[in-house]
Amino acid sequence: MEKIKIDNVSISLAHCDELNLRWVGQTDMLYQLLACWHVEDDGDYPLNPRLTGKPGVGKTTLAYTAATMLKRPVYLFQATMDTRPEDLIITPVIGEANSIQYVASPLVTAMIKGGVCIIDEGNRMSEKAWASLAPLLDTRRYVESIIAGIKISAHKDFRICVTMNEDASTYELPEYIHSRLQPQIYIDFPDRGEELLILKYNLGGAPESALNYIVDFLQNSHAADERYTVRDGINIGRYALKIINSGYKSAILEKSEFDPGNELISSIKAAIKMVIGIEGLIYCNS
């Protein structure tokens, strides 16, 4: 684990995240995010965008793909309702001989290394956690660790992005934080062609007819304002393929209410029932 010293305090840094994520379609979203991170000159500083939308529309994938286009290390921080300020900055741990050691969060590591930090599901954090980041999100560009007794300034190449889900189990952002997380980029459901491209990328071994059937299911559900997303479609497709190829196909389909004569469609319907629930079957084409 890499270590550095700030004001004679030794800090262990986090590892960057290397994920197999790729944003497919809707390239305008990528350019909007990259424009937020652009700086005009030495006196300018990047914006702190927030990506909003329903769970599963690809907010984290978009942020990660844009970050890799900058060719900088990427660090993900998963926000939760019990995230504490020290979780966001520096955490003390017991080391050898009961000594106190300090471990930097992914966010602080990105600040030090000039990387990109993605705070995932940021509106699950309380105001107390967000308050510790207020000076980072304006022109001051630093955080303070009360525990380690140091101030950490952000590298000029540091960038940040926050994803936020549209659901009920979240906090309202305080206004002083809301105004610092600008602009907002809203990610909606992709259109049919883009949804098909995403499924093809993630379900490369699936027959074209299966991909089209799943896309039709998703498009029908979008028209009814359901919350089913392309991530649900990917899980449906993956499970349907496992049903067909696992060797348990006959046993599963014989016990289902679907037509065993059409194994592909029956497997997809069985997968929809298991992934979404029986209520999702009303959006299937006959």
- Cα 165 to the center of its chain, rounded Å: 10
Indicate the pLDDT class of residue 144, thresholds 50, 70 and 90: very high
Over residues 68-76, mean pLDDT: 95
Q: At residue 249, does pLDDT exceed 90?
A: no
Residue intervals in the chain for CATH 3.40.50.300: 3-186
User: What pLDDT was estimated at residue 95?
Assistant: 72
Dihedral sign, Cα of residue 79, residue 81, residue 85, residue 91: negative
Length of the chain: 286
Locus of tokens 């992934």: 275
Q: What is the pTM of this model?
A: 0.87
118 in helix, strand or coil?
strand
Flag the least confident range among 98-102, 147-151, 157-161, 241-245. 98-102
Pick the CATH number of 3-186 from 2.30.30.280, 3.20.190.10, 3.40.50.300, 2.30.38.10: 3.40.50.300
Indicate the pLDDT class of residue 259, thresholds 50, 70 and 90: low
DSSP code string of 63-96: HHHHHHHTTS-EEEEE--TT--HHHHSEEEEE-G
